[in-house]
Amino acid sequence: MSRFLRCKNRPARAHARARVPCLWLIRLGIALCTAIVALSATVSAAGTWTALAHTAPSGVALMLLLPDGTVMAHNSSGNAWYRLTPDSQGHYINGTWSTLTAMHDTRLYFSSDVLLDGRVFIAGGEYGIGGKTGEVYDPLANFWTMTPVSGQNFIDSDSKLLPNGKVLVAPVSPSQSGFTELYDPTANTWAQGPKLFRGSNQDEASWVQLADNSIVTIDPFGTNSERYIPSSNSWINDATVPVNLYNNLGELGAGFLLPNGQAFFLGGTGLTALYTPTGTTSPGSWAAGTTIPNGYGTTDAAAAMMPNGKILCTVGSATTYDAPAFFYEYDPVAATFTSVSAPTGASDNIPPYETNMLVLPDGNILYSKFSNQLYVYTPGGTPLAAGKPTITAITQSRTMSPCKKTDCCSSLMAAPTRSAWPWCPSVYRLPPKNGCWCSSTMDGR
């Protein structure tokens, strides 16, 4: 099993989405910059919890940040999805919930990636009927499309969005032992990916994408490590980890790219490890990190890096899946763990593997626990200057050319999910046959 925010993507990371209208990108950049200014005035060492003013339609597990700043949230174990929209100030505590189109298959614990064009890729599921299938969600059309049959049994697979826009996926039960898969969202095709350096799969591993875009992983269920090199589309051997992070259940915790370029891994055993990359294909170096206090471990537990550079961690039993869950802040500069409260007390009476976290544009952490009541954690301290967002360019990828009614309207396009324009009673918000895009602001010429 795997819980967000582990870098194994089961349940999943955010990039600029070229397909999103440029106004959305500007608003998201403004919200991020506003968050930096607001958080700079905070001087307390620890953060605070606040319950969302409105409950979700049902229990929430996985959460994904869409390019327009809204949050896409998956129902705990079904096929339902919800959207959390921030208030007019860009904050989420008083945000509102709405229901999105349900995906085709039920699934829980699966690969998930927000694509470069703003769509959402999903594959597999440890539970549900979608273990062998994939889907892509278009947030503008509010519509799900099944990917072609891949022949793979993904189950709770790792995945990572690559610089070229493709998605690298490691099925837990691949058709050929040790091989990965590559999904091309532009062509909507699957292709066999490179073979792992060792082992049959990456079950329960956490992937961290480094500054050079290579991906480092600790092979299950020991101390060997390897890296994926995008330029050669290959997996190569890397150094040995000095401590074992996989516990007796075969679980570890989250992995992060630290501001100093190192990778930090939390262990199910309660141990941690730091990886220092070389920036080349030569092996990096591993070192044992700070031990989690009180004998706790991160058995498939959520964690999230905050704007101040610290990591909010869920911890609990290092040998069972049992409740309760406790919370710590890890400071990578001081190499220390500091205990913080749970949302409603000293601990949360749930197993750590049921926790999920998402970093929001306003600098807070959104926390879910398979419940319809979600919480926001507001970090203390000062955000890192290096984390301040910078808008370097704005690209409008959807060409808004004049549309005729016949370009967009069709009696054959009746569907559960559609938008109603003044001159078009039934229409998908999809590219019509003549290549133009239809918008409610267009005059319908």
Asked if residue 218 is part of any domain, the answer here is yes
Asked if residue 271 is part of any domain, the answer here is yes
Q: Which domain holds residue 367?
A: 22-100+154-159+196-387
Could you tell me if 286 and 225 lie in one domain?
yes
Q: pLDDT, tens digit, for every residue of 391-401? A: 888 876 554 44
The span from the CA of 158 to the CA of 175, in Å, is: 16
Q: For the chain, how are helix, strand and coil distributed in percent, rounded to 5?
A: 10, 35, 60
Could you tell me if 277 and 411 lie in one domain?
no
pLDDT at 379: 98
The span from the CA of 121 to the CA of 123, in Å, is: 7
pLDDT at 44: 39
pLDDT at 37: 36
Which has the minimum average pLDDT: 55-59, 205-209, 308-312, 437-441? Answer: 437-441
* Better-scored residue on pLDDT, 26 or 130: 130
Asked whether the whole model's pTM tops 0.85, one would answer no
Could you tell me if 247 and 328 lie in one domain?
yes
Could you tell me if 380 and 411 lie in one domain?
no
Domain count, the chain: 2
Per-position DSSP letters for 337-382, written without gaps between them = EEEE-BTTBSSBSS-GGG-EEEE-TTS-EEEE-SBS--EEEE--S-
Could you tell me if 269 and 323 lie in one domain?
yes
Asked if residue 250 is part of any domain, the answer here is yes
Asked if residue 110 is part of any domain, the answer here is no
CA neighbours closer than 13 Å in the CB half-sphere of residue 365: 30
Could you tell me if 284 and 335 lie in one domain?
yes
Q: What is the CATH number of the domain that holds 45?
A: 2.120.10
Asked if residue 216 is part of any domain, the answer here is yes
The span from the CA of 413 to the CA of 205, in Å, is: 43
**Greatest pairwise CA separation for the chain in angstroms:** 68
Instruction: Please say which residue of 387, 413, 432 terminates a domain.
Output: 387
Could you tell me if 211 and 334 lie in one domain?
yes
Could you tell me if 320 and 356 lie in one domain?
yes
Could you tell me if 296 and 373 lie in one domain?
yes
Could you tell me if 405 and 381 lie in one domain?
no
User: How is residue 434 written in tokens?
Assistant: 């003549």
Q: pLDDT, tens digit, for every residue of 347-385? A: 999 999 999 999 999 999 999 999 999 999 999 999 999
